[in-house]
Amino acid sequence: MQAIIADTPQPLSKRQRIFFQYFTFVLIDLTVLNLFQEHWHHLTIESFSISLLTAILLQAMLKLTIYLEHRVAEFFKSKTGFVAKLRPLSAWGILFVSKLLILAAVNLLFGDEVLFGGPYHGVIAFIIVITTMLAAEQLVMKLFRSLA
């Protein structure tokens, strides 16, 4: 990341790297949201400002979900027997239920300004958009790392 910000005379701090990563991911999420909004009838967002706020909310909640899933995974790492077998189930449960909670948060904060439509009251469309966002983030990170 040092080469990206050429005016920085010293290596980036941890806080600068985290800021740069989240800033980039929000921009990726914003792009994905707006592309879906423009080209897919199952997503309607009233304005660019709302899509930006939605991208920030989604990024924050997705990172919180991943943090929670990792914490639960750490708990199960030290377990044996039947309890250890619950690790994949707990990860799936957290990741699935979190999507429903994130969708509820979007509905609560933005109401009719952000609408996911289609099967199951927009849940399928929402999961498709979130999956695309995460895939785009991973693709950009892979590209970034390959340039080193």
**Domain spans in the chain, listed from the N-terminal domain onward:** 14-146
Distance of CA 34 to the CA centre of its chain: 15
By percentage, how much of the chain surpasses pLDDT 90?
54
Would you say residue 148 has pLDDT above 60?
yes
pLDDT class of 6 with cuts at 50, 70, 90 = low
Q: Does 140 have pLDDT greater than 60?
A: yes
Banded model confidence at residue 72, pLDDT cuts 50, 70, 90: confident
Q: How confident is the model at residue 50 (pLDDT cuts 50, 70, 90)?
A: very high
Provide the percentage of residues in the chain whose pLDDT is more than 70.
93
Statement: residue 3 has pLDDT above 60:
no
CA–CA gap between residue 76 and residue 51 (Å, rounded) = 37
The mean pLDDT value for 13-40 works out to 93
Mean pLDDT of the chain: 87
CA R_g for the chain:
18
Rounded CA separation 71/139 (Å)? 25
- Which pLDDT band, with edges at 50, 70 and 90, does 74 fall under? confident
pLDDT in tens, 86-139: 777 887 888 888 888 999 999 999 999 999 999 988 889 999 999 999 999 999
| Phi then psi dihedrals of residue 99, to 5 deg | -65, -40
